[in-house]
Amino acid sequence: MMLGAGCNGSGESQPAPGIVHFVPNSHAFWSDPSNWTTSFGPAYADITLASSNFVPCRGGPFALCYYSGPSSGAEDLSCTLTADGNYANCQCFDIPYGVYFVDINAILNHAVHEETVAQCGADGSLCATLNSAPVCANVNRGNLIPGSSVYSTFSFDCIQENGIGQTNCSNAPYAGCMTAPCFKTAQAGIVKCSCPVFNGPYQVGQNDQACTLGDDLVWSAAYAPAATPTATPAAPALSADARDAAPAAVPSPGSCLPDAPGGLGCPLYVPGTTVLPPDSGVDCAKVCQEYHSCPQPKGAQAGFTCDATLCTDECNDRDLVSTACSGLAGCDISEIVKAETAAQCSCCASQLCQCDPSAKTNKAIFALDQQQRDRGITPQCDINGTLCGSQ
């Protein structure tokens, strides 16, 4: 499928057949200053004015284009301009499931943007808990942009391997990939996202990078007008210098987020210590029902297998997370999220409520744990003695 843009008789860039870049599907609509989401530019400029602009979500699949731009590297993460320069075809990481963030200023579906602002406030600060923003459901259900079921968002997945930082660039074209439509490719673990291009100042999310790439390549980037080098809750494996160089306008919740990767995530369950607060209002019967009611294609209960794998995953086991968390798409996990938020722990609701997996599920957990070990990853079983499964 060709992901580029064409032109109609008026000269306005149009998507290739079957691809809708914007809702409403009009470049002119979003480029009209009266429809800009901030005074600095349209939704596709990916403007962040405050950390709260990033509303947190849990689900998937989603794309991670944060590292896309150059064609060099172990994996092809290039962003290539279309002939008319209005879009860029960006190779991005395919993340099957996890915690991600959506910039409230960069939602390319106008109705969903308006609904999310109405509920979360213009700056997103009223939606600080997972999946409280309406846009999360649209991403998880795959109905944000017609013609695609996977969209580009921001997450801290792969940060230990690829780092985080900031390079300030002056006016130049860059790909604004937030909420752009994405499509599977022949390369496992990579999707191609059709990202609108904006011409203006921007920041690359890594240190000491060349702003101009050449060969019709552009960075997937964003613009934080007030961004200055400051500390951000990045992965513990990063050096102090790398953390200090990270941009200010990235997700930075006031408290830990259950199941989030890196330094943003809450700790794993500690037997005998991690408990639900007495006034949490969590219904453990409902928690267990949610665990039991979402089967994987082969019948294992996806909530348990996902918990066993998700909160210890690294960028080299995205396929395992895909297997472990398949079946959760479209499932109601609201009480699970409520329990983990109340107890401030990750992948822990089944332990908090003493929910028991089936024999088939225990067998699947045992296999996933061993597969993580085989890749040099320590599974939750080896950390706290839970979610170990059985042969």
Residue 201, pLDDT above cutoff 70: yes
CB-CB contact of 294 with 331 (8 Å): yes
pLDDT at 109: 96
pLDDT at 110: 96
pLDDT at 234: 34
Tokens (6 digits) for 88: 């860029």
CB-CB contact of 387 with 304 (8 Å): yes
Residue 382, pLDDT above cutoff 70: yes
DSSP 150-192: EEEEB--TTHHHH----EEEEEEEEE--TT-EEEE-SSTTEEE
Span 118-165, pLDDT tens digits: 999 999 999 999 999 999 999 999 999 999 999 999 998 877 777 787
Q: Which residues contact 25 (CB under 8 A, 6 or more apart)?
A: 15
281-287 average pLDDT score = 96
Q: How confident is the model at residue 18 (pLDDT cuts 50, 70, 90)?
A: low
pLDDT at 5: 36
What's the rounded Cα separation, in Å, for the pair 280 and 187? 44
What's the rounded Cα separation, in Å, for the pair 348 and 105? 32
DSSP 115-128: HHHHHH-TTSTT--
* Per-chain mean pLDDT for the chain: 86
Span 53-109, pLDDT tens digits: 999 999 999 999 999 999 877 788 999 999 999 999 999 999 999 999 999 999 999
Q: Of the candidates 278, 290, 261, 334, which has an alpha carbon nearest to the alpha carbon of residue 98?
A: 261
Q: Is 230 helix (H, G, I), strand (E, B) or coil?
A: coil
Burial of 193 (0-12, 13-18, 19+ CB in 10 A): buried
Q: Is 55 helix (H, G, I), strand (E, B) or coil?
A: strand
Residue 315, pLDDT above cutoff 90: no
| Beta bridge pairs of residue 93 | 64, 190
More confident residue, 305 or 245: 305
Domain ranges of the chain: 5-244, 266-384
| Beta bridge pairs of residue 13 | 7
Tokens (6 digits) for 53: 């602009």
Span 326-360, pLDDT tens digits: 888 778 999 999 999 999 999 999 999 999 999 99
Amino acid at 271: P
pLDDT at 233: 32
Does residue 24 have a cis peptide bond before it, meaning omega lies within 30 degrees of 0?
yes
pTM reported for the whole predicted model: 0.86
pLDDT at 364: 96
Does residue 271 have a cis peptide bond before it, meaning omega lies within 30 degrees of 0?
no
What's the rounded Cα separation, in Å, for the pair 139 and 5? 23
Span 221-273, pLDDT tens digits: 999 997 543 333 333 333 333 333 334 457 776 778 899 886 778 999 999 99
List strand residue ranges (DSSP E) for the chain, in order: 5-7, 13-15, 54-59, 62-64, 79-81, 87-95, 98-103, 150-153, 167-175, 181-184, 190-204
CB neighbourhood size of 113 (10 A): 22
Q: Is 63 helix (H, G, I), strand (E, B) or coil?
A: strand
